[in-house]
């Protein structure tokens, strides 16, 4: 290929928003020559590489914006460490059918059993599949919502927790909530109902959520009802792993 054509391709690729093609054109030509590729095979190579680069860029950007504490996967989780946890249930969640259905998932159980690892792994899988993710602890979410409410910016801040396809809420139940705080949580869960998925972790069973939300009625008619009506639950014994 002449230098003139190569330069023109780089320029056109840049205008089309294909920076990788502009950088890698000579490498593509080399691979095409070594493989004695026809026109269609060469075009397939270029388009496939560009799509892979774009997907990788999207995934890295999505993970950066997700606020996930780490990017561990299920391949890194040792199921033998938690023999009471059914790996089939976890792998079923990893198909992301619950995300597609805009349903929810809960991992309930005592501290230190790997709930956050599994939750993050599900979120990473969802991000790779093209879903937007946002991670928060319940305590951070409540604190941010209360500050926004005090500043008259509650509706704007609610968007942080309503926009993502998957909202991950970690550590539900570690600190009891005041009634006003419980109502803020209910607003998030109610507005996301059948519009987006929630993955949560908690050290409390649902029967104990009255202690968390400070009111059995709020717990049953609020978050518990909205979540349990479209919920996949993974439990370790009476709790979840």
pTM: 0.80
Q: What is the CATH code for 74-235?
A: 3.40.50.300
> Where do the CATH 3.40.50.300 domains begin and end in the chain?
74-235
Exposed/middle/buried for residue 226 (C-beta within 10 Å: 0-12, 13-18, 19+)? buried
Q: List pLDDT tens digits, range 126-184.
A: 999 999 999 999 999 999 999 999 999 999 999 999 999 999 999 998 888 888 998 89
- Pick the range with the lowest mean pLDDT from 25-34, 60-69, 118-127, 185-194: 25-34
């Amino acid at each position: 290929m002449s230098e003139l054509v190569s330069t023109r391709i780089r320029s056109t690729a840049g205008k089309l928003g294909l920076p990788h093609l502009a950088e890698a054109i000579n490498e593509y030509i080399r691979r095409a020559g070594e493989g004695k590729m026809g026109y269609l095979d060469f075009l397939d190579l270029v388009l496939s590489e560009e799509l892979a680069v774009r997907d990788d860029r999207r995934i890295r950007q999505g993970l950066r914006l997700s606020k996930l504490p780490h990017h561990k996967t299920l391949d890194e989780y040792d199921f033998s460490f938690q023999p009471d946890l059914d790996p089939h249930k976890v792998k079923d969640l990893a198909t992301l059918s619950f995300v597609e259905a805009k349903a929810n998932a809960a991992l309930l159980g005592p501290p230190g059993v790997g709930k956050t690892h599994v939750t993050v792994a599900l979120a990473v899988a969802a991000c790779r599949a093209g879903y937007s993710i946002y991670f928060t602890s319940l305590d951070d979410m409540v604190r941010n919502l209360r500050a926004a409410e005090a500043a008259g910016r509650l509706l704007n801040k609610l968007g942080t927790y309503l926009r993502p396809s998957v909202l991950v809420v970690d550590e539900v139940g570690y600190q009891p909530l005041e009634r006003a705080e419980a109502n803020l949580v209910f607003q998030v869960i109610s507005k996301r109902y059948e519009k987006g998925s929630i993955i949560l972790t908690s050290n409390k069973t649902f029967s104990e959520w009255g202690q968390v939300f400070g009111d059995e009625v709020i717990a049953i008619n609020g978050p518990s009802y909205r979540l349990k009506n479209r919920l996949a639950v993974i439990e370790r014994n009476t709790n979840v792993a």
